[in-house]
Chains A and B, each alone.
Chain A
Amino acid sequence: MSLLEVEDLQVSFSTPDGILRAVRGMSFSVEQGETLGIVGESGSGKSVSTQSIVGLTEGARVSGQARFEGRDLLTMGDRGLRRIRGAEIGMIFQDPLSSLHPHYRVGWQIVEMIRAHEPVSKKQARLRAIELLGLVGIPAPESRVHDYPHQFSGGMRQRAMIAMALALNPKLLIADEPTTALDVTVQAQIITLIKRLQQEFGTAVIMITHDLGVIADIADRVVVMYAGKPMEYADKRTLYHQPHHPYTEGLIGSLPQTGGRGRPLKSIPGMPPSMVQVPRGCAFHPRCGYVMDRCLDAEPPIREVHGGIDHRSACWLPPEAVGRRTDDSALAAQSARRHGGDAVIEPASAAQESTPA
C-alpha cells in the first residue's frame, strides 16, 4: 500500500465567470520515504491538488479519492482531517514571511503546533521547539525561539516553517514551492536541509515547484501538470533525458543553458489556458509544436510510453517518440547555479545567513 494514493481528483470552484475547474482528474501516489515532484506553470493546479486533499481549499468542490495509509481523506470530514494535518502530513509554503503569523513568536507557533496534537506541557513543547530550531540549523535556538518572524531572515523563516512542519515527525511533508521566494544560495540550503531531514526521519516528500532545477536536486519521481491534468509521469532521469510530452520538452527546453550566451531563452509560446474555458481536445494543443488534427478534438488518455519504467504520458505522439531532444547542459547549469559550483553546501552554513538589522 502506498503512503498516499490520489485517484481521479477533481477540484472546481464557482466564480462569477463560471465554474473554474482547477484540477481535472489528477492521480498520483507517494511511497514511504520517497520524493515526488509535481511540476507545472503557475495556475496548473499543483497547489490546489495537494491543498484540497487535506481540506485546505475552502469553497471548492472536490471529488475523487485520496487514500492516506488506506484512509480516504476526502470523505473523513474536518475533525478527522484536523488530526492528520500537522501531525501526519506536514506542510510548508512558498512565502515563509507571510506563512508565519506576524504577531506571535516563532517558538510560540511551534509550541502551538505540538500541543495541538500531543498532550505535553508548555515547557516540554518549548524544549522540543528549541531542539527543532537547532535541528534545522538556526543558530542560538534557545534565544531565537523568542524572536518574532520579522526578526528572522528569509532563509531562517523557511527553516522555522520546516521545523514546525516536522515537529511531530509526520509521514508526509508537502512542500509547496518552498524555495520560490528565496535567494538562489538560500534555495540550495533549504533543499539540502529537506533532503537531510528526509533521510534522518524517513519522511516522504511531495515537492511542488515550477523549477525543474529543484526537481533535479530532490525528486525521485515526477508528475508534470498542465491545465489541471497530469501530462507525464516519469522517474527523474527519464523525464530529463527522454521526455515524451511536448509540454515537458518545452519546460526543459526553456531552462537557461551554459554556453548559451547571446542566444535568446527558449520559451513555450502562448499562455496557459483559462481554467473556466479549457480548450477542446488536448488542453496543450494551442501551444504545441507537434499539434495534429486529432489533438484538436480528442483528449489523449494517459498511456504507457517507452522512456523508462512506469513512464506514462498523455499525448497522441507514438509511445516510442521519447527523448526527441536531450540537452543535459541546461540541467547541469541549473544545478551548478544553485550550488554555487559545489555539489553540496553543508547545512551548518545557515549561520551565515544574516539577520536583518
Chain B
Amino acid sequence: MLRFLVRRILFGAVVLWLVATAVFAMYFIAPHDVARTLAGRQASAETVAAIRHNLGLDRPLLVQYGSFLWKALHGNLGYSYTNSQPVTTLIGQGLPVTASLVAGGAILWLVIGVSTGVLASTHPRSVMDRSATAFSLFFYSMPTFLLGEVLLLVLFFRLHLSGIDWFPGAGYVALTENPMEWARHLLLPWLTIALVTAATYVRLTRGSMLDVLGEDYIRTARAKGLSRRRVIYRHGLRAALTPVVTQFGIDVGTLLGGAIVTENVFGLPGLGELVMTALSKQDLPTIIGLVLLASAFVVVANLVVDILYSVLDARVRLS
C-alpha cells in the first residue's frame, strides 16, 4: 500500500512537471507580446521594455523556465501579469466557488443518475426504462450553455417578471457568509451541471446493473430468501458501482479544474472564469498555475479511484 502510494505520487509529480513544461513551451512558441499588450497602444518602446524587464521576460528562456520550476517547487506560482496578485491567492479565491459548484452538482447527478439507472435496470424494456433512456439522451445531447440559459430564462427571468425571486440570476455568496444564500445562488448551476452529467450515470448504472443482476450470486441472494430491495441494492448495486465510481472520480477531478461553461453562464467567479480571463490576457503565470491545478486534480482523482476500487472489491490489490 505504502509503496503503491509513493510510486503513484512520484508518477503524479512527473505528470505535473511534463504538463507545466508543455504549457510553458506552448506559451513562448505562440506569437504574441504580452508586454506590449499590457502597455497599451500609445506606450513608447521604453515603457514596453520596462514592463518586459519587470516581468522578467527579457531573460533567456531557460533561465525563466528554471526560475519558474524552482519557485513552483517552493509553492510559489508567481504573480499575475495583469494585477500582480500571487497566482496562489487567485486560485484560493476561485477554488471555493468551483468546489461548491462541483460538490453540490456531483451529489445531485450521482443521486439522479444512479437511482434512475437502478429503476431502469430493474424494469428492463418497460415504460420506466424507456423514459429514463429518453431523459438521459435528451440532457446528454443538450449543450451545457443552452441548458443553463434555458434554466435562467424559465426559473430566473420568467419568475422574476412575475415578481417571484426564488433564484438569483448570477453571483456567488460564500458558504461561510450565508449558507442559505450560498445554496440559493448555486441551485441553478447545480441543476445544470447535474442534468448534463447524470445522463452518463443513468446509462452506466443501467448497463452495469443489468450485467450484475444476471450473475449467479444474485440468484444465490434470491435463493436465500432475501427481500427484493436487499437483493437489488445490497447485492446488485454494490457490485455494479465499480464502473460508476471510476466515472465519478474522473468527472469530479476534471470539473474541479474549472467548470468553464457553467461558471460563465451563471457568472460564478470560480476557476473556470479565472482560466478564461487569464487566457484572454495572456497571463502566463495564472495559466500555468491553473493548468497545473487541474492536472493535479485529475491525478489525485485517479489515485482516489484506485484506492476506492480496492476498498470496494477485495479481489483488487494495490500494487
Binding site for B on A (CB under 8 A): 51, 54, 56, 78, 81-87, 90-91, 93-95, 98-103, 105, 112-113, 116-117, 148, 150, 161, 164
Interface string of B236-259 (1 = CB under 8 A from A): 001100000000000000000000
Chain A to chain B contacts (Cβ below 8 Å), 13 pairs: A51-B219, A56-B219, A78-B228, A81-B225, A86-B223, A86-B224, A93-B220, A94-B216, A98-B217, A99-B216, A105-B314, A112-B226, A117-B225
A105: B residues at CB distance < 8 A:
314
Expressed in whole angstroms, the Cα–Cα distance for A87 and B223 within the complex equals 10
Give the contacting residue for B217; candidates A84, A91, A102, A117; CB below 8 A: A102
A85 x B216 contact (CB < 8 A): no
Q: Which of B202-244 contact A (CB under 8 A)?
A: 215-217, 219-228, 230, 235, 238-239
In the assembled complex, which residues on chain B have CB atoms less than 8 Å from the CB atom of A113?
A: 224-225
Contact across chains for A85 and B239 when beta carbons are under 8 A apart: no
Residues of A within 8 A of B219 (CB): 51, 56, 93, 99
Q: Find chain B residues with CB under 8 A from A84 CB.
A: 225
Cα A99 to Cα B224 in complex, Å, equals 12
The answer to whether B227 and A85 have CB atoms under 8 Å apart is no
Closest partner residue, chain B, to A100 (CB atom): B217
Q: Which residues of B contact A87 (CB under 8 A)?
A: 225
Contact of B239 with A83 in the complex, beta carbons under 8 Å: no
**Inter-chain contacts of A100 with B (CB < 8 A):** 217, 220
Inter-chain contacts of B50 with A (CB < 8 A) = none
| Contact assessment for B221 and A101 in the assembled complex, using a CB-CB cutoff below 8 Å | yes
Report whether A82 and B225 are in contact in the complex, using a CB–CB cutoff of 8 Å. Answer: yes
Number of A-B contacts (CB under 8 A): 71
Is B217 in contact with A99, judged by CB distance below 8 angstroms? yes
Q: Is the CB of B223 within 8 A of A95?
A: no
Q: In the complex, what distance in Å separates the CA atom of A144 from the CA atom of B239?
A: 22
With contacts A78-B228, A101-B239, A116-B226 taken as known, whether A95 is within 8 angstroms of B216 at the C-beta atoms is yes
A94–B313 Cα gap in the complex (Å)? 23
Q: A86-B226, A99-B220, A101-B221 are in contact. List 16 more A-B contacts (CB 8 A).
A: A51-B219, A56-B219, A82-B226, A82-B227, A86-B224, A87-B225, A91-B220, A93-B220, A93-B223, A98-B215, A101-B235, A102-B314, A103-B313, A105-B314, A112-B226, A150-B315
Going nearest first, the 10 A-B pairs with the smallest beta carbon separation are A86-B225, A85-B225, A98-B216, A91-B223, A86-B224, A101-B217, A148-B314, A99-B216, A82-B225, A113-B224
Kindly supply a per-residue 1/0 record for chain B positions 308-319, scoring 1 wherever the CB is within 8 Å of any chain A CB and 0 otherwise. Answer: 000011110000
Chain A residue numbers with a CB within 8 Å of B226 are 82, 86, 112, 116
Q: How far is the CB of B35 from chain A (nearest CB, A)?
A: 60
B-chain residues with CB within 8 Å of residue A93 when the two chains form the complex: 216, 219-220, 223
Known A-B contacts A93-B216, A95-B216, A148-B314; the reply to A102 vs B239 at CB < 8 A is yes
Nearest B residue to A86 via CB reads: B225
- In-complex Cβ contact of B225 among A98, A103, A116 (8 A): A116
B 139-157 binary contact with A (CB < 8 Å = 1; else 0): 0000000000000000000
* Residues from chain B with Cβ under 8 Å of A98 in the complex: 215-217
Task: Please give, as numbers and ranges, the residues of chain A lying within 8 Å of B221 by CB-CB distance.
Answer: 101
Q: How far is the CA of A110 from the CA of B217 in the complex (A)?
A: 13
Contacts of B314 in A (CB 8 A): 102-103, 105, 148, 150
> Cβ of A85 and Cβ of B224 under 8 Å apart?
yes
User: Which B residue sits closest to A91, measured CB to CB?
Assistant: B223
Tell me how far the C-beta of A203 lies from the nearest C-beta in chain B, rounded to whole angstroms: 15
Chain A residue numbers with a CB within 8 Å of B228 are 78
Shortest Cβ gap from A76 to chain B (Å): 13
Which partner residue on chain A sits nearest B241 by CB separation? A103
Chain A residues lying within 8 Å of B215, measured Cβ to Cβ, are 98
Tell me how far the C-beta of B124 lies from the nearest C-beta in chain A, rounded to whole angstroms.
9
A56-B223 contact, Cβ under 8 Å, with A78-B228, A100-B217: yes
Q: Given the complex, which residues of B lie within 8 Å of A90, measured CB to CB?
A: 223
Residues of A within 8 A of B315 (CB): 102, 148, 150
B223/A112 in contact, CB under 8 A: no
Looking at the assembled complex, report how far the CB atom of B194 sits from the nearest CB atom of chain A, in whole angstroms. 28
Smallest Cβ-Cβ distance to B214: which chain A residue: A58
Evaluate contact between A56 and B225: CB separation under 8 angstroms.
no
- With both beta carbons as reference points, the residue of chain B lying nearest to A161 in the complex is identified as B220
- Chain B residues with CB below 8 A from A51, complex form: 219
| B220-A101 in contact (CB<8A) | yes
Contact status B238-A103, CB under 8 Å: yes
Residue of B216, B219, B225, B238 ringed by the most chain A CB atoms within 10 A: B225
Q: Give Cα A335 to B17, complex, Å.
A: 68
User: CB-CB contacts of B158-186 with A at 8 A, as 1s and 0s?
Assistant: 00000000000000000000000000000
Chain A residue, CB-CB nearest to B227: A82
Name the residue on B nearest A78 (C-beta): B228
- Please name the residue on chain B nearest to A93 by beta carbon: B216
Name, among B219, B223, B226, B312, the residue most crowded by chain A CB atoms within 10 Å (CB to CB).
Answer: B223
Q: With a 10 A CB-CB cut-off, give which of A84, A85, A95 has the most chain B CB atoms.
A: A85
Instruction: Please measure, in the bound complex, the distance between the C-alpha atom of A90 and the C-alpha atom of B223, giving whole angstroms.
Output: 7
